[in-house]
Structure 1
Amino acid sequence: MTTPQKIALVTGSHKGLGYAIARKLAQQAGIQVIVTSRKEQDGFTAQQRLATEGIQVDFHPLDVTNDSSVQQVTAWAQKTYGKVDILINNAGVNPTMQAEEASLLTMQLETMLSTLATNVAAVARITQAVLPLMQAQNYGRIVNVSTEMASLATIGSDYYPLAPSYRLSKIGLNGLTVLLAKELQGTNILVNAYSPGWMKTDMGGSDAPFTADEGAETAVYLATLPEHGAQGKFFAEMRKFGGPIALTW
């Protein structure tokens, strides 16, 4: 039986930005969050941490790079809740700190391919699996976590590290976002990407100026868009402009 609550699946949500997004969504009225992680113990630990705050979430293991794992979580969500309303594609990797990533001339092709596999192909995999559940009810909100480092409009002049593997993967993710939004035009399934900015996470490091909670704000905004909301757009983090502002691709 389908629950009247909105069901939100957040990939890679046992820590960092994903955890912050899951926490904020679970605090919204009428949203049941499914926290996911590759390792069961990590997921259960996150679930218990949230429970100490009085925030109840569900958990299911998920490795977005594994077909079987993706099919299992989708089948479980359908059996348990009858649907998935919100998909936050947060899980990703960033090899930017590797010395080879300072230049295209030293970048390792194996690193580039593995980064593309997680940041692009895995997003396509979980989206393909979940999308039929959204289409069955003509409702869905898909949020892809990207970065301003992937903006082709500014990539030639920005001050960020070259980071070719990471940038190329997020450029691919942005392309996936636009193509999927085009295919879903006219439906009530809205697909958007956003940049959370530089945050204090394992990926961002302790020198980052903002918290994961601040980075999660735009994700929650896009996950709860009303009907006829933004479609196929690329948003900045809300704190940057004091509200939801679309970036140039």
Structure 2
Amino acid sequence: MSLTKVAVVTGSNKGIGYAIVKGLCEKFDGKVYLTSRDEGRGQVAINELKKLGFNPAFHQLDIDDEESVVKFRDYIKAHEGGIDVLVNNAAIAFKSNATEPTGIQAEVTLKTNYFNTLRACEILFPILRPNGQVINLSSYLGHLSHIQSPELRAKLSDPSLTKEQLSELMNQFIQDAKNGVHIERGWGNFTYSVSKVGLSALSIIQQKELDKENKNISVNFVHPGYVGTDMTDFKGPSTIEQGASAPVFLALGGHNLKGQFVWFDSSVVDWYSPKPPNNAY
């Protein structure tokens, strides 16, 4: 069993995830795992990084497949002993011109971005080592202010909010979207935003829960900027390397931040404030 430090990046065969792996290969004193749903695409990414002089490891990992996550956990536990850095990057978003009904978009988006990310964390957190770092990739749209309803914002920011209660709220949004009342209920009209607000709120809860274990594990959530990737139809002005900057900063220790919303420039932003910063990227 290896005593080498281990970093894992989900959904990292392309885009920001790929750049995070690259950045960790450059700066992290340990072994870096590039993971992806598709083994072939993952191997292509590994080969690209090897041509650049890096040597990341690869393992198949699909957070939408519970068996895949369990297999990955068991492999890491057997071969590495644990995880020191976990970057939850895997996510999906419908295109702006998608024709699927909002209810379907809500169900599919939250399944990956919130519910299955939560499940992956529940499976992998037990093998986090002391002093570990968890980085959840949120978004500018993951700021609490993007929820229109004051009542919903109050519930999402309640210090006593539990994971179960948060999941109930996320399920309520899906049901409201299916019933076509999500806008009048104050959720807004962008399912991706709700999924990332949910992930942001989850990050705060996760930090509180891990604090009770006294293992000095940090959970932070980050807005990487508006990055030119498949998800943004390459409209984002920032490069994937720029998008990876703050996540890598946090992975390397991030000034011992815990439970914070970190902007792309590595500054700390008040998630609860009435408005997010003007500089989205």
TM norm structure 2: 0.77
111 and 207 in structure 1: CA distance in 2 versus 1, 3 angstrom threshold: closer
CA deviations on 1:104-140 (whole Å, 9 max, x unpaired) are xxx5212101111100111112211111112xx4231
Q: Which runs of 5+ in 1 are unaligned?
A: 102-106, 157-161
Identity %: 33
Distance across 2 between alignment mates of 1:119 and 1:138: 26
**2:210 is equivalent to residue 198 of structure 1:** no
**2:216 is equivalent to residue 182 of structure 1:** no
Distance across 2 between alignment mates of 1:131 and 1:16: 25
Could you say which residue in structure 2 is the equivalent of 1:172?
198
Could you say which residue in structure 1 is the equivalent of 2:263?
236
Q: Which runs of 5+ in 2 are unaligned?
A: 149-187, 273-281
Range 85-94 or range 182-191, more displaced: 182-191
Distance across 1 between alignment mates of 2:56 and 2:21: 8
The residue type paired with residue 190 of structure 2 is: P
Q: How does 1:1-249 map to 2 (within 5 A)?
A: 1-3=1-3, 5-99=4-98, 107-134=101-128, 137-153=129-145, 164-185=190-211, 186-225=214-253, 229-238=256-265, 243-249=266-272
Distance across 2 between alignment mates of 1:15 and 1:99: 22
89 and 143 in structure 1: CA distance in 2 versus 1, 3 angstrom threshold: same
Distance across 2 between alignment mates of 1:217 and 1:163: 30
* Partner SS state of residue 268, structure 2: coil
Aligned length: 231
User: Does structure 1 retain, via aligned residues, the 8 Å contact 2:228–2:237?
Assistant: yes
Distance across 2 between alignment mates of 1:95 and 1:182: 32
The residue type paired with residue 269 of structure 2 is: A
The residue type paired with residue 122 of structure 1 is: N
User: Does structure 1 retain, via aligned residues, the 8 Å contact 2:25–2:55?
Assistant: yes
TM norm structure 1: 0.87
